[in-house]
Structure 1
Amino acid sequence: MAVIRSDRPLDWRQVAAIAAGEPLELSAAARGRIAAARVLVEQIVERGIRAYGVNTGVGALCDVIVSPSEQRTLSRNILMSHAVGVGAPLGAAETRAIIAAAVNNFAHGHSGIRLEVADQLVALLDADCLPEVPAFGSVGYLSHMAHIALVCIGEGHARHRGERISGREALRRLGREPLVLEAKEGLCLVNGTPCVTGLAALALARAERLLDWTDAVAAMSFENLRGQLAAFDADSLALRVSPGLNVVGERMRNALADSGILASVIGQRTQDPLSMRTIPHVHGAARDVLAGTAEVVNRELASITDNPIVAGTPEAPRVYSQAHAVGASIALAMDSLATAIAQVAAMAERRLDRLVNPLVSGLPAFLAEPGGTCSGFMIAQYTAASLVAQNRRLAAPASLDGGITSGLQEDHLCHATPAALKALEIVDNAGRIVAIELLAAAQAYDLQTIDAARAPHTDALWRRVRSLVPTYRDDRPLAGDMAAAFRLIAEAAPPLFPSPGKPATPPADETTLTRASNSNIAATDAANIAANDPHSVASAG
């Protein structure tokens, strides 16, 4: 179903849907706004009104006047000189998200590109013929969009149906011609915050799904560790003002309803360890951060972030050349989301450690069967601890990195795009940590010494895991099971949490998988497993 950019700006969910493969359409009104803004640029050129990047150089060259005969050259040269990305290319979902956010920005009607330029970008999305965009090398927003724009003029490279092709060949396959950029268009294509905004929308989608899974997996661990349900008492939790906390508390109560295991241990402990009794507090705090971040991203999508901005009328065009392209608010939001997800993952590792530690679990050491000759989940917990440490390093705020560029003209940098990229990496790592906890919780059920029934909801989750991988007996590389579990978390939603008095939702059909998830990362994990292993992801389930 197409996502239409109409009179209203796209929101983050719509950008994430386009990243997942939905087509993007421009309404007649949006097209009209784009065309009207182009008229303003043409009037600025014709009247010789001084405008940054239109008839001047850029950055520290902003006071160098560029003649009308040189303005096409300036636009082309901006792409060439700004396409300085390094490292592995972004994934398809990331690239689609950035393009969607860029088209959304143009549709505000204050950029000044021609309709042909917006249509070129939409055509690339429609054909899923995506520019090759190196992930690193940006302190703000320039290099990623420059690599995308190269394909619009027949330069650079793209990927189409799994093949790496030149930008010119990409356009030929789409039946389109390379664009010759006019005044301001080169700057329009690299400017503003679409890069970080698109990536941020994707980070929100992945983080939201991860938090749903983390609640579900935490319920399994809580039950296996025989926690006290009083930790989720509704009256108690209502005393702390936090929408997220109370949502998670209700989820935990519903997920663990009718648990025979927990019913058999009521009152045995006064208080559970913090990694168990603060599930609503920590998970809920992350949900509150997610909600706040979503507000920031939606505000950014609703904002004009060009420099310069064109406004006014053809009779009286105006140029605003200030700082709307600086992404301070979204950089801070991405840093905050990254820290929140890192904390949730760190607590998941603590629950995992309790599951494998016989001193506190009441279960066989390291969930091994049998012990001695088998190590079970001993070393999988090492992997989780390593990822927690990596997240801790990544969670250092990018927005404080600073730096000086362009001959002191740009002497304060917010590093918004790097903040979004590291947030995405933290979400990936967190997904792997929760996947290991999911496997360990399922194993703990298999070895549970209490002869009592699981809650219907956690039983459904256990069955879902066992439909993918059997009980682990050191009979295969555990990495294969971990990849299968991560793929499940990255690509599929967990079963819906039941409402009071309703049965647990059966496992969701795997056809609900979506490309907006981290499927490219999960596939990489799976590819690292021995192809002939009978227990590998390819043959699981």
Structure 2
Amino acid sequence: MSRMLVLQPGKVCLADWRAVYRGAVPSLAPAAYPSIEASAAAVRRILSRGEPVYGINTGFGKLASVRIGAADLETLQRNIVLSHAAGVGEPMPVAVARLMMALKLASLAQGASGVEPKTVRLLEAMLKGGLTPVVPCQGSVGASGDLAPLAHMTAAMIGVGEIVAGNERKPAEAALRAAGLEPLTLGPKEGLALLNGTQFSTANALAGLFEAERLHQSALVTGALSTDAGRGSDTPFDPRIHALRRHAGQIETAAALRALMEGSAIRASHRVGDERVQDPYCLRCQPQVMGAALDLLRQAAATLQTEANGVSDNPLIFADSDEALSGGNFHAEPVAFAADMIALALCEIGSIAERRISLLVDPVLSLLPAFLTPRPGLNSGFMIPQVTAAALVSENRQRAYPASVDSIPTSANQEDHVSMAAHGARRLSAMADNLSNVVAIELLAAAQGCDLIGGGLASSGPLEAVRRLVRSKVPTLQDDRHFSPDIEAAAGLVRSGAVVDAVAPLTLPTLA
């Protein structure tokens, strides 16, 4: 049974958005509906004055100077939806599409968009009934809002396009009627309110953020295990070092690494007699790199939480004065910057993890058998998994180039500066997938390294729990075997959160 979650528009915490992404079913707090009705009533009063108002009785974008008669207002709103549903590419993942719908629901419910209560109730009912519009991923430049993807969402609400119901794609109108819902007839302003806004970009950015949070935690675990496998020192994690630097993320990361390694017999075994003075940066500087990534993710989280709780369509309706004010809240520059920060963090988490894998397969640095195989030469061991990790890190470096610095003018230069937030946020999913596999390879390599140390030495309690988890899915590598299934199994442990859960009750740093 999915968890039910009540949204308080404008006051939704990051944990609730995370819960929606993970499958919680959102609904609106009943107290939101009076504001929705007041906003819709204001639109009716504005129309009664007979004045031209952008988006209500005029054309859109460069066509804003074209006045639309009262008899054509319903057709105007339907036309904008159909004409703007011009997306291409693969459909949005259902989890991200539902998050987008929930973000739009919370935005409309703040009473500044001029939609009727029935429109909000339909969106709410679709979320409750598991009806998810099929929305192509490509086609938004992040201003004037995520027009194409949100138009596809809205098209499904009026019975056009397709809807995923359960595991089946169905024609939208048939899916709605099968669920006892009537396709929407759009009133003045409603089409524009539904397809304008940053909810596509924000949903993708939040999804990337939540995946990055779990991967950051997982990489702390694998980093600690690699430090033990490579007979690294925990001295660089001493709290006095990090207190002098004062960065919160660095301090918390060092504390987590200390806790993960506390009580390790492997670490204790080489406190005396190990001639190495300092470890390579990939072990020694984990608090500095992973802490900086944590701080960056938290900054992105703060921006995205603000965006998720805001209203970003246009024009905005102010019911207290019966005004429709045209502005630029649809411009997704804050989301683009946040997505770029998340991309940088994903890239660097993988980059330092790959260096630890490289250290472990190098017998000079790790003091372990070459390529982590008991019989190197006859066996190649972890030689090519390290190459795979390097390839994935290189891909992520290419994807980490900032999207926010790009802009292509659109709409006959009316929309002459755009954010590219949609692309910037959408790429995070592929980057997270790559990082999941890099962390999975490190998990396997670190567990193998600890197995090869011998002498019956155990790591710490939390890290031994992780080793047991790995060995429940992937046996120790004695001789070469088909490696891809091992990586896939380990990646499943990383993506599911099982690696993080294995070290409980130890608490790893979170975004909030």
State the shift of 1:42 in Å. 1.2
Paired residue for 2:308? 301
8 Å CA contact 1:132, 1:159 repeated in 2: yes
Paired residue for 2:351? 346
8 Å CA contact 2:107, 2:311 repeated in 1: yes
8 Å CA contact 2:205, 2:338 repeated in 1: no
User: 1:502-541 alignment to 2 at 5 Å?
Assistant: 505=505
8 Å CA contact 1:100, 1:198 repeated in 2: no
Paired residue for 2:330? 325
Distance 1:168 1:427, change over 3 A: same
Paired residue for 1:58? 60
State the shift of 1:345 in Å. 0.7
Paired residue for 1:273? 280
8 Å CA contact 1:19, 1:95 repeated in 2: no
* RMSD after superposition: 1.8
User: 1:219-298 alignment to 2 at 5 Å?
Assistant: 219-266=224-271, 268-298=275-305
8 Å CA contact 2:229, 2:446 repeated in 1: yes
Paired residue for 2:195? 190
Matches of 2:458 and 2:203, distance apart in 1: 45
Paired residue for 1:539? none
Larger deviation, residues 258-267 vs 77-86: 258-267
Matches of 2:475 and 2:97, distance apart in 1: 37
Paired residue for 1:453? 458
Matches of 2:339 and 2:331, distance apart in 1: 14
User: 1:109-120 alignment to 2 at 5 Å?
Assistant: 109-120=111-122
User: Is residue 142 of structure 1 aligned with residue 147 of structure 2?
Assistant: yes
User: Is residue 312 of structure 1 aligned with residue 319 of structure 2?
Assistant: yes
State the shift of 1:19 in Å. 2.3
Matches of 1:366 and 1:258, distance apart in 2: 27
8 Å CA contact 2:74, 2:187 repeated in 1: yes
Of the three residues 93, 96, 100, the one matched with 1:94 is 96
Paired residue for 2:29? 27
Of the three residues 73, 76, 79, the one matched with 1:74 is 76
User: Is residue 405 of structure 1 aligned with residue 381 of structure 2?
Assistant: no
User: 1:393-472 alignment to 2 at 5 Å?
Assistant: 393-449=398-454, 452-472=457-477
8 Å CA contact 1:5, 1:30 repeated in 2: no
Residue 327 of structure 2 aligns with an amino acid whose one-letter code is Q
Distance 1:135 1:474, change over 3 A: farther
Partner of 2:435: helix, strand, or coil? helix
User: Is residue 218 of structure 1 aligned with residue 223 of structure 2?
Assistant: yes
Matches of 1:379 and 1:43, distance apart in 2: 69
Matches of 1:175 and 1:99, distance apart in 2: 19
8 Å CA contact 1:134, 1:144 repeated in 2: yes
8 Å CA contact 1:55, 1:68 repeated in 2: yes
Report Cα offsets for 1:28-68 as digits up to 9, x if no partner. 21122111111111112221233221111111111111111
Partner of 1:452: helix, strand, or coil? coil
8 Å CA contact 2:8, 2:106 repeated in 1: no
Matches of 1:349 and 1:338, distance apart in 2: 17
Distance 1:495 1:392, change over 3 A: closer
Partner of 2:244: helix, strand, or coil? coil
> Structure 1 regions of 5+ residues with no counterpart?
499-503, 507-541
Residue 465 of structure 2 aligns with an amino acid whose one-letter code is A
Q: Give the alignment's TM-score, normalised by structure 2.
A: 0.94
State the shift of 1:264 in Å. 2.1
Matches of 1:81 and 1:372, distance apart in 2: 63
Report Cα offsets for 1:205-246 as digits up to 9, x if no partner. 211111111101100001111111111011111111111111
Matched-pair identity in %: 38
User: Is residue 151 of structure 1 aligned with residue 177 of structure 2?
Assistant: no
Matches of 1:9 and 1:18, distance apart in 2: 15
Report Cα offsets for 1:286-326 as digits up to 9, x if no partner. 1101111111111112222111000033xx41111011111
Paired residue for 1:40? 42
> Structure 2 regions of 5+ residues with no counterpart?
507-512
Matches of 1:8 and 1:392, distance apart in 2: 35
State the shift of 1:449 in Å. 4.5
Paired residue for 2:11? 9
Report Cα offsets for 1:172-220 as digits up to 9, x if no partner. 1211111111111111111111122222222222111111111011000
Number of residue pairs aligned between Structure 1 and Structure 2: 500
Residue 327 of structure 1 aligns with an amino acid whose one-letter code is A
Q: Give the alignment's TM-score, normalised by structure 1.
A: 0.89
Matches of 2:198 and 2:51, distance apart in 1: 25
8 Å CA contact 1:296, 1:329 repeated in 2: yes
Larger deviation, residues 22-31 vs 318-327: 22-31
Of the three residues 380, 389, 402, the one matched with 1:384 is 389
Residue 398 of structure 2 aligns with an amino acid whose one-letter code is R
Matches of 2:114 and 2:74, distance apart in 1: 14
Residue 19 of structure 1 aligns with an amino acid whose one-letter code is Y
State the shift of 1:156 in Å. 0.5
Matches of 2:159 and 2:139, distance apart in 1: 22
State the shift of 1:411 in Å. 0.5
Residue 178 of structure 2 aligns with an amino acid whose one-letter code is R
State the shift of 1:8 in Å. 4.4
